[in-house]
Structure 1
Amino acid sequence: MAQSSGNRKVDVTPYLGVDQVVMVPLKGEGDVLTYTNVTAGVTAQVQTRRVEAVVDLQYNHSFGWGSQAVDQDVISGVASAQFKVARGLSLNAGGVATRVRTDGLSGASTLNDSFTSNVYAGYVGPSYTTQIGDINVTGSYRLGYARVEDDVDSDFPGALPNMGAFADSWSHNLFASVGFAPGTLLPIGLTASAGYDREDASQLDQRFEDKWGRVDASLPVSRTVALIGGLGYEQIEISQRSPLLDTAGAPVIRNGRYVTDGNSPRALVYEFDDIIWDAGVLWRPSRRTSLEARVGQRYGGMTYQGSFTWQGRDSSFALAVFDGIDSFGRLITANAAAVSGSSLNVARNPFTGDITGCAFSTTGGGQCFNDALSGITDANFRYRGVSAQYALQRGPWGWGVGAGYSQRKFITPRGQSVLIRGSKDQNWYGNGSMTYTISDSDSIDTVVYANYFDASGGRPDVTNYGGFTSYYKNLTRKLSASASIGVDGVKSDDIDTIISAMGQVGLRYSF
């Protein structure tokens, strides 16, 4: 169903599909595997005076041929929506769903392995902005939920909890600010803001609380450059209970996760209570371009943060340097909330139905999920790194590139976690996507990806790489055919390189 008039656009397309997939080992041990995939999904783009939404959601069931090809279910997709309730008041909602490996081979193909987990994250909450004279007032609240569900019993050797098992968590994010721009009430601009963040995770009844308040100033020194800085106070506490012990004194593990001793006292894992500050520069030569860089002190040491954004007529670029304290639950929820706009290109793996890592947007609302999904653990961590994303849609061509690096320094109780306190994981990733519309009935897309995960705590380092190309042909107005070829490689510390070739042919009927 598609409707378009003026600034109004409503395009909702449900579909059903069936395809045949074969996987052939090129290097390393393995069998030739064959699957029949049955899919049902919906794509939607909605842009009206009150609603802006984008949805790409799919359910895929794989019927395996033979004992080595197990049946699998995958729910995957990305959704983002903003509802304008009243002037200045909006309700925001969205989420992400995908599948990852459970055996430590971060990023590798999930097609030929039953040790997988389904990941879900969603959020909902209002935001408000208004202006009272020269005073700007903003406020927002976000309720988030994240969950990891294992497809199999994870009590197998070398699996969870040796990798640190995340189960689920609820998170709350509350923010408010009031201030005025430079040159209105004073030559400098001032903004007072405060926030409260909390996450309650089921694994060992873990709790994260962050309360902060600060005042920020902005002093223009030219038409395009301003000096910026802020001073405030922050209090962070992370606590959890102890695992239940058996008669031999060993932690009780059920479905790969520690069983919480509800009678144990809550232990303080991390505490920060101090003044925070930062200073930097803001460069804004036009409405389309912005650069911000800050250096300061937080978490008991120096911090470095920055961002650069550029919005073109048919393209966008964003780069971010980040430094904070995070967890898998808060990170994947924040990634989902970062997706916005009414146009989104979600690249899917044609052999598994999984999203390939990045959702690209030419309006600046894209997001890469690779980093959040690498090395999922139940621990909080100091999270530092850099990420970049570029998207372009010009004529028949569409391009998307995402890349980044991150370091996780774990915050865990001494003697109670499988991850050593202060140990570090590092992750490098890159994704590229190209689409080309040959004609009204023919198109092609290509995706390449690479990921290197440098793990701590005795877990394997993993290198994963691959790519695929798909060709699409509209047979009728509603029936289309597809054919894909691809390759996926993975190398881990404790296994030889495995390289697999994959092929796919399929049909899709759109309603």
Structure 2
Amino acid sequence: MSSKIAPVAALCLAALCLGAPAAAQDRQAGMQKGNQGKNEPQQGRTSGGSPVQVAPYIEASQLLVVQFSPEDDVVTYTQIAAGVDAAITGRNNGGSVSVRYERNIAYGDNAAGSDTLSGVARGYATIIPRALTVEAGALAARSTLNGNGAASLTPIGAAIGAQDNSSQIYSVFAGPNLHAAAGDVELNANYRIGYTRVETDNALITPNGVRPIDIFDDSTVQVANFHAATHPGQPLPVGLGIGGGWMQENISNFDQRVRDAHVRADITVPVRRSLVVVAGIGYEDVEVSSRDALLDADGFPVTGPDGRIVTDASAPRQIAYDVSGLIWDVGVVWRPSRRTTLEATVGRRYDSATYHGSFDWAPTRRSRLGVSVYDAVAGFGGQLNNALANLPTRFSATRNSLTGDLGGCVASSEGNACLSGALGSIRSATFRSRGIAANYSASLGRMNAGVGAGYDRRKFIAAPGTALAAANGVIDENYWVTFYLDGELGSSAGYSANTYANWLRSGFNNTGDVFAIGASAAYRRSLTGRLSARAAVAIDHIDTAVSVDDITAASALLGLRYDF
């Protein structure tokens, strides 16, 4: 349990510090969209309703898991859980947090119990109104690992007691945002430091004849940006800007380091009231390096007690990727109304063509569609930490109706709200990630619903002649979709449902594809003012080429919940 103290503290810190959401600055200031723009400062938002909402609870349930393949098995568990959902909404502070601890006590000779911490928190705190804010966020989640390194936030029911293919993922970040003005020039700067860790009992176990996969361990990422710009008409007809940014991720596996620094100038040209053309040009230097594995007397990599390959700290650093030179982009920003924004750019970066974009549309006050297109070089930790930083600050966590695990998306009416695309492969090698993610949420009377979908393409980067060399140039493609629904039935009952599907196409030899699909549904009914009964069912299936047999399991739950 001691390993979970730090993540609990991180979640609590994020809930208390409540950092401002990381989002792109107004495009009229001319800041580049992408890695840089995703971390620009933004002022806190306000909303109506109670300023502080805290809802702690405890649960006790009986759980039945029936596994149909690869072999027939029936296991029962007693599930005990405690958690809290909270939200703070104010003029200068705001955020949301959902934390849950769960203990599953197994019955049966072949069954294993488990304890799980899951939670997500995002928020902001204003230090100096309209000038200085602090943002923070944290994530703790259980994932299921498959034979080709694929990871999913939604484990199958049988994974409750299967520790060989499950892991805990933790990610946390915090940092200040600064905003100032000097005459017609608007100044913005920000800094963020984050940490991500994947805990497994051992590195991923694969069938005989298949090389073990080196699973990501942990990394620290730092991001800093600054930008100075004028708006069109203040004082020139066009807006001019200059800025720069720096990102560095240090990955423990093979002491990998991703370093990206850039400077650029940009211009904003108004075409009409709702449409502007934006363009920028600059210089960028990107480098990925690592050290080799420690070898034994026979020349084979040494494996540590955690199952991961040991890094030779005395080995020289080797360059895996080194690209520097001119970068540019050109695009448009279209804002026909306060509820619709489209941004799209095309340019050159990482010595090749690059595309970025976003679309945000709120057709009503109770519905929202968000789409983002991205392109970045990072490791697993940097990718997940950035996705966490881009979550909205007002949300309700969506959880598996039966296991209580976090879903791939949160329910929110603010921007992109999914983490599924940041998972995909959990290999330790760095990569260039390009993809698209979309999320739609709506509140219809007493019902809330949402769907998220996306595609992520990762081209791995590794130095020749090292233990990671086999990963260089290999491509993994991840397709995912998730859906959630909840509502009320009268004044004393309610329901919820979740479905998900994930398909990872791996380019690594002898690993193949992994396809996972599942659904769960739950019904709850109040017995007294604070005590309620609940029932849930779920079915899950994993089809993987790594294993001869697929995994299929069904689950059912009956329990009680007490809300304080």
- What TM-score does the superposition give when structure 2 sets the normalisation length? 0.86
In 2: Cα distance, 1:328 partner to 1:90 partner: 27
Task: Check the 8 A contact 1:418/1:457 in 2, yes or no.
Answer: no
Query: Counterparts of 1:243-282 in structure 2 under 5 Å?
Result: 243-254=293-304, 255-282=306-333
Gaps of 5+ in 2: 1-46
2:245 corresponds to which residue? 195
In 1: Cα distance, 2:169 partner to 2:366 partner: 32
**Aligned pair 1:473/2:525, yes or no?**
yes
- How far off its partner does 1:112 sit? 4.7
**Aligned pair 1:380/2:427, yes or no?**
no
Task: Check the 8 A contact 1:120/1:146 in 2, yes or no.
Answer: yes
- How far off its partner does 1:501 sit? 1.4
Aligned length: 504
In 2: Cα distance, 1:213 partner to 1:233 partner: 6
Structure that is richer in strand per residue: 1
- How far off its partner does 1:184 sit? 1.3
**Deviation readout 1:85-125 (Å, 9 max, x if unpaired):** 11221111111111112343643523252221100000011
**Aligned pair 1:483/2:512, yes or no?**
no
Structure that is richer in helix per residue: 2
- How far off its partner does 1:363 sit? 2.5
1:461 to 483, 488, 513: 513
- How far off its partner does 1:153 sit? 3.2
Q: Which range moves more in the overlay, 19-28 or 323-332? A: 19-28
In 1: Cα distance, 2:63 partner to 2:559 partner: 9
1:292 corresponds to which residue? 343
- How far off its partner does 1:440 sit? 2.6
> Match for 1:483: what amino acid?
A
> Match for 1:40: what amino acid?
A
The share of aligned pairs that are identical, in percent, is 36
2:140 to 97, 101, 109: 97
**Deviation readout 1:349-388 (Å, 9 max, x if unpaired):** 2332211211120132x52222222220111111111110
Query: Counterparts of 1:214-233 in structure 2 under 5 Å?
Result: 214-233=264-283
1:111 to 149, 160, 172: 160
**Deviation readout 1:302-360 (Å, 9 max, x if unpaired):** 11221111133111111111122121110111111112233x12111233221121112
> Match for 1:435: what amino acid?
D
1:396 corresponds to which residue? 446
> Match for 1:102: what amino acid?
L
- How far off its partner does 1:285 sit? 0.4
Query: Counterparts of 1:62-461 in structure 2 under 5 Å?
Result: 62-87=104-129, 88-104=131-147, 106-107=151-152, 108-109=155-156, 110-115=159-164, 116-150=166-200, 152-154=201-203, 156-158=205-207, 162-254=212-304, 255-311=306-362, 312-342=364-394, 344-364=395-415, 366-416=416-466, 417=468, 419-458=470-509, 459-461=511-513
In 2: Cα distance, 1:106 partner to 1:175 partner: 31
Q: Which range moves more in the overlay, 5-14 or 407-416? A: 5-14
CA distance change for structure 1 residues 502 and 7 in 2, over 3 Å: closer, same or farther?
A: closer
> Match for 2:97: what amino acid?
V
Q: Secondary structure at the match of 1:495?
A: coil
- How far off its partner does 1:182 sit? 0.9
1:36 corresponds to which residue? 78
CA distance change for structure 1 residues 27 and 260 in 2, over 3 Å: closer, same or farther?
A: closer
Task: Check the 8 A contact 1:162/1:418 in 2, yes or no.
Answer: no
- How far off its partner does 1:418 sit? 6.3
CA RMSD, Structure 1 to Structure 2 (Å): 1.9
Q: Secondary structure at the match of 1:21?
A: strand
In 2: Cα distance, 1:63 partner to 1:432 partner: 29
In 1: Cα distance, 2:287 partner to 2:427 partner: 19
In 1: Cα distance, 2:241 partner to 2:491 partner: 51
Gaps of 5+ in 1: none
CA distance change for structure 1 residues 333 and 442 in 2, over 3 Å: closer, same or farther?
A: same
In 1: Cα distance, 2:360 partner to 2:204 partner: 45
In 2: Cα distance, 1:495 partner to 1:354 partner: 27
In 2: Cα distance, 1:460 partner to 1:73 partner: 31
Task: Check the 8 A contact 1:239/1:269 in 2, yes or no.
Answer: yes
